Structure 1
Amino acid sequence: MVNFDAWCGTADSKVGLHDLRVMEGIAAQLQFGIEATAAIVPGHYASEEHVARALRLLGKPAAAAMIEQKLPTTKSIRSGDLGEIFATEWIAANGTYQVPIKRLRWKDHRNMAMRGEDVIGIAQDPATFQLTFLKTEAKSRANLTGQVVTQARAGLDKDAGLPSGHALSYISARLVELGNHALADAIDNATFQIGIQPQSVRHLLFTFSGNAPDGMLTMALQNYAGGFSQWSVGLRVDGHPAFVGAVYDRVIANANQP
């Protein structure tokens, strides 16, 4: 898990009824941030079991090659993937929801962006077994603009603000493959049997950028007129492109260490 608190300053605020968090990478701690991020990136592209099996059967060089061939090589896809990874890690660190699959493991091609909702967090009530959902849009840009935030907002508002049936069916199918039948059945029940109610859904707009997101995220929350509870989280890292490049370079270097 990425320990954001170890390399970022954090400021929380309320915008009306909604929550805004802005995290900013601390210059003196960015190398730690690179190392911490690089340590968790491989697990988003390949399961720990897959890597361990490759190490056991094929040896270190082949396992390193397997990891490297899963990593994107273009700057834009690396940036987008890392934004989604950070959103997933932030949800996990928050503790309210789990992200049951790391969907980058199922990419069609390493230099292609995935379609559909970026991340869906899920929580299950231990007493009633009812599910609640965190529909998430993640955007990563060296220079975040209001237009990009508007695009993310439009993504959250699709399907009447609910997680799409296609996205939930995709998660359910992957969970069946992974042997997590209980959660897969709960998702299918919510999707096809009882239906998903708006009160069981919250939205998260997560941005990762080189410029300050505060004003744009605040304005988006102020202008939101829908009925879903909103979280907006902006992670700012000065020198965003260099940071992204350094993370992937470190992932490859780590994989090739003897």
Structure 2
Amino acid sequence: MEDKLPSTPNTRSGDLGEVIGSHYAARDLGYRMIAKLRWKDHRQMPMRGDDIVGVRVPQSGSVEFLKGEVKSRTLLDRRTVAEADKALQSDNGRPSAHALGFFADRLDEKGEVDLADRIYAAQLSTRIDQHQVLQLLFTFTSNDPRKILRESTTTYEGPITRHAVGLQVPDVQAFVAAVYAKVVADASKP
């Protein structure tokens, strides 16, 4: 188990940010998410594609997609938010084919065949319209992110709806270290 955990503070912070961001998208936005980090087979394995991908099917029956970018920094700055914006704009603002394929495959493995088939169909035949996508910029930082995130969302002029959420923790690195210490301690228990 320990050999699958990231070993550097930056990688640990990024992975934890993705976990928290995914839980936020599931709980507060109602998207079906998967815990993609469970499929890491080694700490150095990069998880290519979008940081967060989700799907939901509202009463109308059409599929809605979430494309999320997570930035975990001790001090969030405009340059970091610009990096996130660039990542959200990739693939014409839609979730990448690679990320959606990975997501659908995991749903299929879990027996959620109908939802997996809807994702495959959206990729292969019906195509994903930008109006079916919500972009989420999720930040995990020690400084107050509100001003930078507000600037980012008010200057954004793209066709896809975008939300920005900032989680502020007084000392991100100490928090991350404590979480990983607990994970390692719990993993070593019989």
User: Is the structural similarity TM-score above 0.5?
Assistant: yes
Q: Distance in 1 between matches of 2:176 and 2:136?
A: 22
Q: Distance in 2 between matches of 1:192 and 1:203?
A: 21
> What residue number does 2:48 align with?
115
- 3-state SS, counterpart of residue 111 of structure 1: coil
Query: Are residue 177 (structure 1) and residue 134 (structure 2) matched?
Result: no
The TM-score normalised by the length of structure 2 is 0.93
Q: Distance in 2 between matches of 1:124 and 1:219?
A: 31
> What residue number does 1:103 align with?
36
> What residue number does 2:58 align with?
125
Question: Could you tell me the percent identity over the aligned residues?
Answer: 43
* 1:111-146 CA distance string (max 9 Å, x none): 344221001121013553x21011100110111111
> What residue number does 1:235 align with?
167
2:4 counterpart letter in structure 1: K
Gaps of 5+ in 2: none
- 3-state SS, counterpart of residue 108 of structure 2: helix
Q: Distance in 2 between matches of 1:162 and 1:243?
A: 32
Query: Are residue 161 (structure 1) and residue 93 (structure 2) matched?
Result: yes
Partners of 1:77 and 1:113 within 8 A in 2: no
> What residue number does 1:86 align with?
20
Which shifted more, 132-141 or 90-99? 90-99
> What residue number does 1:137 align with?
69
Q: Distance in 1 between matches of 2:70 and 2:109?
A: 26
Q: Distance in 1 between matches of 2:29 and 2:163?
A: 14
Partners of 2:3 and 2:42 within 8 A in 1: no
- Residue 190 of structure 1 is aligned with which of 122, 130, 133? 122
Partners of 1:135 and 1:204 within 8 A in 2: yes
Ranked by relative contact order (alpha carbons within 8 Å, sequence separation 6 or more), the top structure is 1
Number of aligned residue pairs:
190
1:108 deviates by 4.8
Partners of 1:208 and 1:235 within 8 A in 2: yes
Q: Distance in 1 between matches of 2:54 and 2:117?
A: 16
